[in-house]
Chain A
Amino acid sequence: MKRQLHAITVGALCVLGTYCPAGLVSAAENENDRVTALEQKLDRSLKLIEQLTARVKELEAQRAGTAASAQNVPPAPPAESSPQIQQRLDSVEQQLTQITDSNAARGGGGAGVPLHGFADIGIGNHTANEPGLQGANVGALDMYLNPQLGEHTRALFELTFEVDQQGQVAPDLERAQIGYQFSDAATVWIGRFHTPFGYYNTAFHHGQQIATSLRRPRFILFEDQGGVMPNHTVGAWFTGAEPLTDGKATYDLFVGNGQAISDGEIDPRSGGVDHGGAIYGGNLGYVFGETLNGLKMGVSAFRSKITNDQPYVNFTRVDNVGVYFAYDTDRFEHIGEYYRFSDSGLTPVGPTHKSSAGFLQLAWRLPIATPYARYERAALNQSDTYFAAQTEGMSYYRDAVGLRFDIDLKSALKFELGHTKNTDRLVQEWNDVLMDYAIRF
Chain B
Amino acid sequence: MTLHAQSASAAHPVRMRCAALIALLLPLLVGAVGEPAAPGVGPLLDRLPPSWRDDRGKTLQLPQLLGARIFITMAYTTCHRVCPVTMKRLEQVQRELDALGTSGEFLIVSYDPSNDDPAAWRRYRVSHHLFRENWHFLTGTPADTERLARLLGFEFWHYDEHVMHDYRIVALGDDGALRGAIDSSHGTWRDLL
A328 engages B160 (CB within 8 Å): no
**Assembled-state Cα–Cα distance A383/B105 (Å):** 66
Chain B residue numbers with a CB within 8 Å of A163 are: none
**Assembled-state Cα–Cα distance A350/B113 (Å):** 51
Contacting residues of chain A (30-60) with chain B, CB-CB under 8 angstroms: 40-41, 44-45, 48-49, 52, 55-56, 59-60
The 0/1 profile, CB within 8 Å of A marked 1, for residues 6-47 of chain B is: 011011101110111011011111111110010011111000
Contacting residues of chain A (89-126) with chain B, CB-CB under 8 angstroms: 89, 91-92, 94-95, 97-99, 101-107, 109, 114, 116
A105 engages B168 (CB within 8 Å): yes
Chain A residue numbers with a CB within 8 Å of B25 are: 85
The 0/1 profile, CB within 8 Å of A marked 1, for residues 70-101 of chain B is: 00000000101110100000000000000000
A409 engages B167 (CB within 8 Å): yes
Stretch of A199-207, A305-313, A338-346, A413-421 on the interface side: A199-207
Stretch of A4-12, A133-141, A216-224, A229-237 on the interface side: A4-12
Chain A residue numbers with a CB within 8 Å of B130 are: none
Query: A106 and B80 in contact (CB under 8 A), knowing A4-B15, A8-B19, A101-B178?
Result: no
A290 close to chain B: CB less than 8 A: yes
Q: Which residue of A lies closest to B14 (CB)?
A: A59
Query: A203 and B161 in contact (CB under 8 A), knowing A95-B40, A98-B177, A409-B184?
Result: yes
Chain A residue numbers with a CB within 8 Å of B152 are: 102, 105
B29 engages A48 (CB within 8 Å): yes
A81 close to chain B: CB less than 8 A: yes
Chain A residue numbers with a CB within 8 Å of B117 are: 243
B157 close to chain A: CB less than 8 A: yes
Chain A residue numbers with a CB within 8 Å of B127 are: 293, 329-330
B22 engages A11 (CB within 8 Å): yes
B177 engages A45 (CB within 8 Å): no
B58 close to chain A: CB less than 8 A: no
Chain A residue numbers with a CB within 8 Å of B151 are: 102
Q: Which residue of B lies closest to A329 (CB)?
A: B80
Q: Which residue of B lies closest to A184 (CB)?
A: B114
B11 engages A205 (CB within 8 Å): no
Distance (whole angstroms) from the CB of B65 to the closest CB of chain A? 17
Chain B residue numbers with a CB within 8 Å of A55 are: 18
Chain A residue numbers with a CB within 8 Å of B12 are: 3, 7
Contacting residues of chain B (172-193) with chain A, CB-CB under 8 angstroms: 177-178, 181, 183-184
Chain A residue numbers with a CB within 8 Å of B119 are: 243, 289
**Assembled-state Cα–Cα distance A56/B164 (Å):** 62
**Assembled-state Cα–Cα distance A237/B161 (Å):** 15
B26 engages A18 (CB within 8 Å): yes
Contact of B157 among A107, A146, A184 (CB under 8 A): A146
30 contacts between A and B (CB under 8 A): A3-B8, A4-B15, A7-B18, A10-B20, A11-B20, A15-B22, A18-B26, A40-B34, A48-B22, A48-B33, A56-B15, A59-B14, A64-B3, A64-B4, A81-B29, A81-B32, A81-B33, A84-B33, A88-B31, A89-B28, A91-B42, A92-B41, A95-B40, A98-B178, A105-B155, A105-B181, A116-B157, A205-B159, A333-B80, A408-B184
**20 more A-B residue pairs beyond the given contacts A17-B23, A243-B119, with a C-beta to C-beta distance below 8 A:** A3-B11, A3-B15, A7-B12, A7-B16, A11-B19, A18-B27, A44-B34, A60-B14, A81-B33, A85-B29, A85-B32, A88-B32, A98-B177, A102-B151, A106-B150, A116-B157, A202-B161, A241-B115, A328-B80, A406-B81
Q: 4 shortest A-B CB distances, which residue pairs?
A: A105-B153, A14-B23, A11-B19, A7-B15
- Tell me the A residues contacting B by CB distance below 8 Å: 3-4, 7-8, 10-11, 14-15, 17-18, 40-41, 44-45, 48-49, 52, 55-56, 59-60, 63-64, 78, 81, 84-85, 87-89, 91-92, 94-95, 97-99, 101-107, 109, 114, 116, 144, 146, 156, 184, 202-203, 205, 207, 210, 241, 243, 248, 289-290, 293, 328-330, 333, 365, 406, 408-410, 440
- Tell me the B residues contacting A by CB distance below 8 Å: 3-4, 7-8, 10-12, 14-16, 18-20, 22-23, 25-34, 37, 40-44, 78, 80-82, 84, 114-115, 117, 119, 123, 127-128, 150-155, 157-162, 164, 166-168, 177-178, 181, 183-184
